[in-house]
Amino acid sequence: MSDLDEFRASVRDWCRATIPADWRAAQTGVADDAFVSFQHDWFQALRAAGYAVPHWPAEWGGGMSTAEQVVLYQELAAHDAPRLVMAFVSIHHAASTLLVGGTDEQQARHLPAILDGEIWCQGFSEPQAGSDLASLSCAALPVDGGYRVTGQKVWVSGALHADWCLLLARSDPEAPKRSGISYFLLDMRSPGLDVRPIRQATGESHFCEIFLDDVFIPTENLVGPAHAGWQIAQATLAAERGMTMLELAERLGNAGFGWLIDACERPGLGGSRPIDDPVVQDRLAAFDTEIAGLRSLCRSHVDRADAGLDGPADASIVKLYYSELLQRMTGFGAEIVGLSGQTVLQKPISSGWESGAWVLDFISSWEWTIPGGSSEIQRTIIGERGLGLPREPKGAS
């Protein structure tokens, strides 16, 4: 047995012994405090096993090889482990930002705190600056000892429970759009900060607005040089790709496709099973093929990135493929369950987008074609950077 086979066996044994068998039922309809507590306990269970931050450097508690990370995420998905919803920004976006652009002091202050449960959110998008992030107008005015920040952020995931925020603000209004932005670490307990949850169509309030009214951020919370935030932000956004997409692809292929098969095997109102319909069989075969393609694409992207050979549009291809496949699958699931599925008003909070509550999953799936660059933006990147197509002149019809 190879070392990788032994590692897979150990992860498999751990999953069987540790993953709560009833976590989906227990996490359906719970209050926010119970959800946050469950997420914290699950993160600490992963941390104790060495599975919480495998992509971090070894000195900070990670150090797994790419092959080991692939095995880990495959097994977590296969055993239907809860998603680290609350820690996602913390262990990926915040950690990537700190490791790429943070000072030694910032790393020493926050990386151990993240392992202890410090929750982060990401304050990038604004009402008039979403996919065109460089148009942001939240203003950071230099003052003695730091900056005074005034403005608004929107679609901030998990802000209601966050301790810290990754914040982009315009520190030089006279500079070109991408040259006048600075990157800050914002303490969510700062005076002048107002967090307002946004109630979604699913009944959740995962997204929030943040209003900043003359909020002071000390100079030591500036990441990298002043006005260089755009470049550092690319490291943050890159954290949504690669291994995180491989994990999501594995979960879609296990829990997501498994739930879809289950739905198709249940008798409908007339007693017949959807799966006995040749049209349904054809759709399921097509989804199975697409999932296999997604898994292969993600693994190829991870391997190329690990070797420094990833292309300029690879991440956009993966993100576009996953998000639109997710939308089609959940839409088909909602179609299969019909009216009976529309009476399901809650889903397991720690599940993500593959809970089996098909109508709610379908509504939630639309979120994925917008953040981190909308599908339209991804197609533009693929065309221009990947295929070398000419940029359309401004003003062209």
Name the residues annotated as catalytic.
240
Distance CA 266, CA 10 (A): 35
DSSP 2-58: -HHHHHHHHHHHHHHHHS-TTHHHHTBS--HHHHHHHHHHHHHHHHHHT-S-TTS-G
CA 355 distance to own-chain centroid: 16
- Rounded CA-CA distance 249/73 in Å is 10
Backbone angles phi, psi at 195, to 5 degrees: -110, 125
**Three-state secondary structure call for residue 82:** coil
Q: Strand, helix or coil at 149?
A: strand
Q: Cα dist. 142→136, 172, 188, 347 in Å? A: 17, 9, 20, 45
| Residue of 41, 223, 45, 270 lying closest to 122 (CA atoms) | 223
Q: Distance between CA 22 and CA 352 in Å, rounded?
A: 16
How many CA atoms does the CB half-sphere of 190 hold within 13 Å? 22
3-state secondary structure of 143: strand
